[in-house]
Amino acid sequence: LKIKKEGWTIGYHTKTHANLDKLDEDKLHDEIVNGKEQLEKQLMFSVKYFAYPKGFYSDKVIRFIKKAGFSAAFTVDGQSMNLKNKMLLDRIPMEGEISINQMEAMLSPLGLFVTGIFMKSLKIKERIQDLVRSFVKEGDYSKKYIYAK
C-alpha cells in the first residue's frame, strides 16, 4: 500500500464500529479477532494496533484485543499518556484539517483536559441514551412518560 510505504501505520477499529461493551463473546470474537484476520489477509501484512470505537472498553474487551494479538490499543479517555498498560494508551481524536497552532493547543495540559471532559461527556450521553432505550421500548409511548422536544 502506498500510504504504508510513505510511513503511515495502519491499525484496526472493528468491523462495524460497535460499542464493544455491549457485545457478547461471540460478537466480540467476530468484531475483533476475525475482523483483524480478514483485514490482514486483504492487506497482506500484520496489523499491530487497535483503537476502541468511541473509546468504550472493558476488561472483557481487552482480553479479546490481546487474544487477537495486538501490540497496543488506544482509548480516547483524555488522560495523560500511560505507558504502563499498552492496551490503554490514550489518543486525541482529530477531525478534518487542523493547523499547527490548533495541534499545539490540543496537546497542551489545558487542551488535554478539555478533550478528556468532552470525550467523557460523549460516553455519558451514550450511556444515558442506552438507559432511556431500556426503559422505553420503541413504540411504547404510554401516558406515564413525558417527552420534551
Reading the chain (149 residues) residue by residue, the pLDDT tens digits are 788 888 889 999 999 988 898 899 999 999 999 999 999 999 999 999 999 988 888 999 999 999 999 999 998 776 656 677 899 887 777 777 888 888 888 778 888 788 778 877 877 887 788 778 777 765 555 545 554 44
Q: So what's the pLDDT on residue 50? A: 96
Provide the grid cell at 147. Answer: 417527552
Cβ atoms within 10 Å of 4's Cβ, excluding its own: 11
Place of cell 482509548: 75
**Cβ-contact 46, 67 below 8 angstroms:** no
- From the CB of residue 6, how many other CB atoms can be counted at a distance below 10 Å? 7
- CA–CA distance, 30 with 115 (Å, rounded to integer): 31
pLDDT at 143: 47
Pick from 115, 80, 82: which is nearest to 98 by CA?
A: 115
Rounded to an integer, what is the distance from CA 1 to the centroid of its chain? 24
- On average, the pLDDT of the chain sits at 83
Q: Which of 71, 69, 70, 74 is nearest to 55 (CA)?
A: 74
Within 10 angstroms of residue 77's Cβ, the number of other Cβ atoms is 19
Q: Residues 51, 74: contact at Cβ < 8 Å?
A: yes
Q: What pLDDT is stored for residue 149 in this prediction?
A: 46
Residues 90-129 pLDDT 10s? 777 777 788 888 888 877 888 878 877 887 787 788 778 8
